[in-house]
């Protein structure tokens, strides 16, 4: 989708400092949108806190070690 937008120049300059592998504003906006969506999805997972029931034999420490 082609869209023309006005961006805050100071914010764009600062963002480029954090992402040396990004060379265009288009890439920068794409990464920003991807991170925004990812963060919102993680927030949705936090809404499940206290609503998930684990089986009695569930041992997360054992799963971490691959046993």
Q: Where are the domains of the chain?
A: 1-49
The predicted-structure confidence for 5-44, as pLDDT tens digits, reads as follows 999 999 999 999 998 899 999 999 999 999 999 988 887 7
Q: Which residue has the higher pLDDT, 26 or 62?
A: 26
- Residue 36 confidence (pLDDT): 93
- Residue 60 confidence (pLDDT): 77
CB 29 within 8 A of CB 38: no
Q: Which residue has the higher pLDDT, 12 or 50?
A: 12
Dihedral pair phi/psi, residue 47, rounded to 5°: -65, -20
Q: How far apart are CA 67 and CA 55, in angstroms?
A: 18
Task: Place 66 in a pLDDT band, splitting at 50, 70 and 90.
Answer: low
Per the confidence metrics, is the pTM higher than 0.85?
A: no
């Amino acid at each position: 989708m082609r869209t023309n937008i006005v961006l805050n120049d100071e914010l764009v300059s600062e963002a480029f400092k954090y992402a040396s592998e990004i060379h265009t504003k288009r890439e920068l906006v794409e990464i920003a949108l991807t991170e925004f969506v990812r963060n919102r999805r993680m927030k949705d997972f936090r809404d499940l806190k206290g609503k998930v029931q684990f089986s009695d034999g569930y041992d997360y420490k054992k799963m971490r070690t691959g046993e």
